[in-house]
Chain A
């Protein structure tokens, strides 16, 4: 009923109805704060004077200020100290630089680089006689490498890579750890530096530090750095490097620390995000059952990368997907489809869509494991991105499934759910839905029950929706919709015309005449 729609649309305009509450709240706060700001700034300043002092009491003003002059004076002092010959002064200068670089707001990365300090810092990395200096220099360089690509580049070009790799072997754990961290930053910059590091044999050096007695903090850094070495495409890391890292990753995936698990899992997800032969390398390690187990974790930090990895694996070959199914992925996915976080629902739906793209035996396993009800729920209630994945799942299912399987889907409410989605704007998704509908009709034709399906579509208001799509601005959509109607609903359409002519003659007087002309 058009009036209903009008009211609904109007409703959203008032009293915050229809707007997302969380957004609303954000906005309210923002607006208000702005308005109050002027008046309050004075009192805030006063407060700051009192409360911020104890925080920074150990630090001189330069570590908190953004004042250019104060910083440049501090840096000049650092230059002076670092370039002197006295050990104490060098350490003091290096530490001052490190402190500047460790502050939370606007650390002066560029200023330190421009001061030409990096070469000296890299020198200090080799000073095995002075661990404190080594450590301070390593920390400072780590933080510079954590900046933009340009910042990282300056660190590398000053020869830090070999120095850090050497430093990995330091007997002092905290120094070695700092080296691990710095190398992680360099590897995380992109494929080029990643491969440069790999070429410098960073992997054996890192893996040598992976011992059972390593403290958790150390292991976290190590895992993260390893994951960065697996990260990034175009190109992928060399296969030989992957082969080197994988056994250790498998080991790490069996540890108990959540952060280690998370980063190791992300590494797996990077490695599986590629062609089937890349996936194969991972699957062959036998890690898939463990990934399934990790998908059952409550912590999103573990669940998310595990689910991502699994999604990647089932996007591979039928055999690879079968390994995942045999590992029990289908018993975990229903729960994830119902996960409170939309992002998890979306990823889970994506995984299901890829399994549904498999042979009908795998589709049968989807049905057996009860994935249809949660999937159809998502079609109805998921957010848009999730719905899109769920639609793909349906279309894949209908194109690969047997007639019986398609019938089962329709009986479970799948048809009605996708028909309801035809009102969305996205043309691509509509085409995918129309494809699924077409597949269902093909199945119905095989059974000789086309009319039954037509009736069903009409009953749930689908015909009306498809008819409206004939006015869609997208050519492909309108043509597909038209084809569907011509192929399966043609008689009905004529019937409908006669009916309207008879009942509402006054209203459709003219269109009826036009129709007649067409018939001639």
Chain B
């Protein structure tokens, strides 16, 4: 069931209890977790934090903790499947689920006792009405008698019912069949597309605000949570702008609030500002040139993988009148005079080069005098730490490191993350360029398909969900700009990359078509399930996003064939 009063129905319930906190591996979840942890610290709530990477992980974590805990808080996992069916918990176990995955499983929605959903109901949920999808068992029991008529031996004895009773029975059966057909239709419509709702970090932040326990740190985490949804392309532009506005009100409330103290700037002060900043990743920690060359928006606009694109970039830089030397050196060391109105200069030239949306609403944070970060850059850093493949670390070490990078006391960790993120963005751009230049993106009819082979540089990085998501998104954007085939511009993209060489599996990920007005709804989850089922392909649907699966390499071609048939 949905909680209407999260404070009373969630926080006040768990505040004197021991809580198991299961957190999914994405940046928004990390941020929600940070806020919740801060609240728990405040009220001395005992909790155990367990990072979970997929359904298997969640199942194992639950088994390990179900003896000691009654209350489980799940962040960015659990809402989109029937959790009771999956975990088979005891009857007194209670799950609080704060998850952006949509659609929410209907059983979770209508279970009043064990499933409590921390989900904003003003999100566009479209939940089917209870009476449309569930029926009373009594009503069912009445009619079950005549079900198997035609198949089995007739009964040896028969009762003669009232004429009216027979008619009523027939009428009821007819109504029931109609109802069932409608139910299937409703559920199909409801479950067909996957998408994401309001950031979990924002939901938890709102809780802290309602309790007047919100701090600037918490607000910053909420901002990063929203930025994560933007960076990883989980929500529509409209939704992003709306939520930015919500957060902006909180930001101005906070800066207002502390105005007096703020005047006395100190080394450990924290200042959050609204920015209308550039869509250039990490430019404040890089050189402007490198950022332009590795940001999706600029590379796809210039088509930087081609000679022509490179030339255009040079023209663009000349148009701005920025000396190459300045552009290529560290941003921090650029002339103050250039930096001063840099954003306006870039915007002006960008407009000429068809990049009308080079700027985007976001927030920045200042820690003391020296450190300034944009929300999107922190997302990149944290995501890079989460999926760090450089050292053979186990996932929970990565998780802790990424979590740390969000603390202002662990700025060194954040800087580490930023360095990793740079490498990751470079790897993505190089892969995009090579995929496009070697025509690796094939049109399969109903969708585009690109397969990264074993041995491709950085292929290990792309066995991870977030990295592959970014690659997919950047690749599709670039492909749409480079192809002349109009039909192809409207197609969704499926990518496969080697996942586990020993097991012989690939990761398969599908994303919706690229368009300005895209609703970001993804139908590949259902399609993957059906294709796997119909071909008997060996797949592992372990990811919380059902449009990401693991597939046996040798089953790939029959799986794709089935998918083509299914979607044509």
List chain A positions with a Cβ less than 8 A from chain B: 3-4, 7-8, 10-11, 13-17, 24, 27-37, 39-40, 44, 55, 58, 99, 101-105, 107, 139, 142-143, 145-147, 152, 178, 181, 184-185, 188-189, 224, 227-228, 231, 262-263, 266, 299-301, 304-305, 341, 343
Contact = CB atoms under 8 A, between A and B. Distances in A.
B154 A227 contact: yes
A36 B82 CA distance: 15
Given A99-B162, A102-B162, A304 B541 contact: no
Contacts of B481: none
B86 A33 contact: no
B149 interface: yes
B160 interface: yes
Given A29-B135, A30-B137, A231-B156, A11 B142 contact: no
A469 B119 CA distance: 54
A102 B81 contact: no
Interface of B: 55-56, 59, 81-82, 84-86, 107, 110-114, 130, 134-137, 142, 149-162, 164-165, 168-169, 502-504, 538-542, 552
Contacts of B86: 14-16
Contact of B112 (A35, A58, A341): A35
Nearest to A221: B158
Contact of B154 (A8, A36, A103, A262): A262
15 contacts: A4-B504, A4-B538, A11-B541, A15-B541, A15-B542, A32-B134, A33-B136, A34-B137, A35-B111, A103-B162, A139-B160, A142-B159, A181-B158, A181-B160, A263-B154
B150 A7 contact: no
Nearest to A30: B137
A343 B148 CA distance: 12
Nearest to B57: A14
Nearest to A109: B159
Contacts of B159: 101-102, 107, 142-143, 146
Contacts of A33: 134-137
B154 A224 contact: yes
A58 B168 CA distance: 14
A224 B156 CA distance: 9
Contacts of A152: 157
A16 B540 contact: no
Contacts of A35: 110-114
Nearest to A302: B150
A14 B541 contact: yes
Contacts of B150: 262, 299-301, 304
Contact of A17 (B164, B168, B541): B541
Given A17-B541, A33-B136, A28 B162 contact: no
Given A36-B110, A145-B157, 4 more contacts: A3-B502, A102-B165, A143-B159, A266-B154
Contacts of A11: 538-541
The listed residue with most A CB atoms (<10 A of its CB), out of B107, B137, B156, is: B156
Contacts of A266: 153-154
A102 B160 CA distance: 6
Given A31-B84, A58-B164, A13 B151 contact: no
A14 B55 contact: yes
Contacts of B107: 28, 31-32
A33 B84 CA distance: 14
A35 B165 CA distance: 31
A441 B164 CA distance: 66
A31 B85 contact: yes
